[in-house]
Amino acid sequence: MVRMWIWILLLFPMCEAASLEKNIPTVLQEAYDSYAQGEVAKTLSERKEAFNRALNLYTEMEKKYDAEYSSGRLYYDIANTYFQLEEYSWAVLYYYRAQKLMPREEKLKHNLTTTQAKLGIEPEPDLAAVFHLLLFFHSYLSLPERLQLFLLVSLCSIAALSAYLWRPQRWLKITAVVFLIATTLLVLSLAYTRYLSPIEGVLIQSTNLYRGAGEQYAPVSEQPTLSGNKLTIVEVLSDGKWLKVITPLGELGYIPYAAVRII
């Protein structure tokens, strides 16, 4: 009897986990269906209800799974849902998150541009052509893709070096050198992404840009910085309550942390 209970106690969590795993595709399907319902809704209230239902399900998935190294489609779907609910600044945030993982996706760029137009924000200019061409892989491939490519190229380097070790032939040496160069370039690209690339965020609520870390300081300009703008975060101050940022116009100032979300 005791043994039976022990088996039940051991097996129960496994069954629970298995059933949760089985439910996820159902949840994803339900979210997709809700979104589709929202697109074909006949009234505003039906549309809002359907999109809100889809958004709840998507954000639940986001909390449960760390999608930072995933395909980016979850972020894309969340961004679309926010757009449909007219929460444009949140849509811009999630489009940027998705763009990091899906840099070549044309419809994402189109949706982001449409959202920015709603907010009256100019789209970002493309990188200089020469720079883009020379380091195409850095912006053409997402971080997870570059990591996969790095692994593949490293394995090829190891294989080529191993072959050269056993059969010291010229063509094997050249092959090994080529793969090593490719590996080095990828390592540099990944190191830049990890250590040198700027931290960026999106303003989710309009706020003044202050001269100091506090509301008693004068604003940098009379016009507040509008939500949806992408900012470069330079420093975190005052126990994390204020951020020193650079706006797209190149203005340097301080904003409250609660107004920004990191991409």
**Residues between 111 and 170 that touch other proteins (CB under 8 A):** 111, 114-115, 143-145, 147-148, 150-151, 154-155, 157-158, 161-162, 165-166
- C-beta of 134 vs 155, nearer to other proteins: 155
User: How is 188-235 classified by DSSP, letter by letter?
Assistant: HHHHIIIIISPEEEEESS-BPPBSSSSTTSPBSSSSPBPTT-EEEEEE
- C-beta of 64 vs 132, nearer to other proteins: 64
User: Residue 164 to residues 71, 158, 174, 178, 181: CA-CA distances in angstroms?
Assistant: 37, 10, 10, 13, 16
User: Interface with other proteins includes 188 (CB under 8 A)?
Assistant: no
Closest among 167, 163, 143 to 155, alpha carbons compared: 163
> E-assigned strands of the chain?
199-203, 230-237, 242-246, 252-256, 260-262
- C-beta of 2 vs 21, nearer to other proteins: 21
User: Interface with other proteins includes 223 (CB under 8 A)?
Assistant: no
Q: Which residues in this chain contact other proteins in the complex, by CB under 8 A? A: 21, 24-25, 28-29, 31-32, 35-36, 39, 41-45, 47, 54, 61, 64-71, 73-74, 76-77, 80-81, 83-84, 107, 110-111, 114-115, 143-145, 147-148, 150-151, 154-155, 157-158, 161-162, 165-166, 194, 205-206, 211-212, 214, 216-218, 224, 252
